[in-house]
Every structure is written in C-alpha cells, then in structure tokens.
Amino acid sequence: MQLLRHTLKDQSQLYVFVAVLFLVGVVFGALMVNALSLEQQQDLARYLGNFFRTVSQTQEAGGEPGPGSYWDIATLHLKWAGIIWVLGLSVIGLPGILILDFLKGVLIGFTVGYLVGQYAWKGLLFSLVAVAPHNLIVIPALFVCSVAAVSFSLQMIRSRVLTQRQGGLARPLLSYTALTAVMVAILLGISSFEVWVTPVMMKWVAPMLVASTG
C-alpha cells in the first residue's frame, strides 16, 4: 500500500493525463453511436434483444455462472493488464499504453451511449447495474497499471536514451512489476463480483428491456 500511495502522490500529473485521455475516449465512443448506419443499429438491436431475453430466461430457470465464466472474465482483465505491462517495458510501447486507455474509454462510452440512446432511462438503469459497478474498480486499477507503465517507460528513456547510462533499472522494474501484480490481484477479485453479482443485478433489469424490444 505504501508503494501505491507513493505512486499516487509522485505521479499525479500522469494520472490526470491518463484520466483525461480515458474521458475523451468515453465521449468519442458515445458520439460513435450517432455514426452507426441504420443496418448496424438494427443488427445491434437484434443482438441486444436476444441477449436480454437470454438473461431473463436464465433468471426464470435459476441458472448460475460457473468457474469457467469466472476465468473467461478474469483472463480478459489479465490480458489487458499484461499487455500494458509488456508495453511499459519498451520505449516504443509508450504510445500503445495511451491508445489502450483511450480504447477502454471508447468501449465504455459506446456501450453506455448506445444503451441510453436505444432504451432511454431503462438503458441507463441497465448501464448502472451491468457496466458501472465493476468498472468503478477495474478502471482505476488499469489507470494504476498504465501510469506505472508510462512512468517506467519514461524512466527508461531518461536512463538509456538521454543520459546513455546502463543499468540502474532493476529496482524500478521490481517496483513496477510489484505494483502491477497488486492491480492484477485486485482485478482477479473484482472478476468474482462481475461473474456472481453483476448477473444477478442484470436479471432484475433485463425483463424491462425485453418488454422494450418487444
């Protein structure tokens, strides 16, 4: 925790930059909804209609997710954090980290923007139970991973490129990896919530959206 407090204090400007980049992605993703063609909107509407009906039927059947579902979601989060960690190990990976943060914002902005645009307040309610809860933890955890990666990449630039010094990166690398490992543990924990709690909340709201889709 001391390591986390240290990075939050010393790298506040990077956190602000990453957060702004993410928010720009959210806005961009929401605006992308308006760029969909009528055919694309109809395809998405059919897909979501089938999805909501499946969720509602699962509620009636009393189905529960299994360990396989957990590892599907956990693996997705681990891949995201792992890619950020790998990109942070190289100078050329720096733009890739920022692109991933922007894309994460785009995905969330598009999802919420489409649900609200298509289903109004019901879509907003579904977003609040299906998208928001776990992302309140996932997004900050990925922010920490991203800032740690950017910071380490910049440290490599200063050490290897600007000052031409060799060595001296073992301790920063250890701290970077340790911080990423802590975030991975958090992501594994929130995956449990996403698998066993989020579907329950989705089942409460899904019948209303089934009625909206007819």
The pLDDT tens digits of the residues spanning 164-178 come to 555 567 888 998 999
- Position 9 scores a pLDDT of 64
Neighbours of 9 (CB within 10 A): 8
Which range is least confidently modeled, 128-132, 167-171, 194-198?
167-171
Residue of 138, 145, 151, 147 whose CA lies nearest to 180? 145
Give me 32's structure tokens.
């992308």
Q: Whole-model pTM? A: 0.86
Which range is least confidently modeled, 30-39, 133-142, 179-188?
30-39
Give me 214's structure tokens.
């007819």
What's the rounded Cα separation, in Å, for the pair 141 and 144?
5
Are 22 and 147 in contact, with CB atoms under 8 Å apart? Answer: no
Give me 83's structure tokens.
């890619």
Neighbours of 214 (CB within 10 A): 5
Are 198 and 134 in contact, with CB atoms under 8 Å apart? Answer: yes
Are 19 and 101 in contact, with CB atoms under 8 Å apart? Answer: no
The pLDDT tens digits of the residues spanning 31-78 come to 999 888 888 888 888 888 888 888 777 655 455 555 568 889 999 999
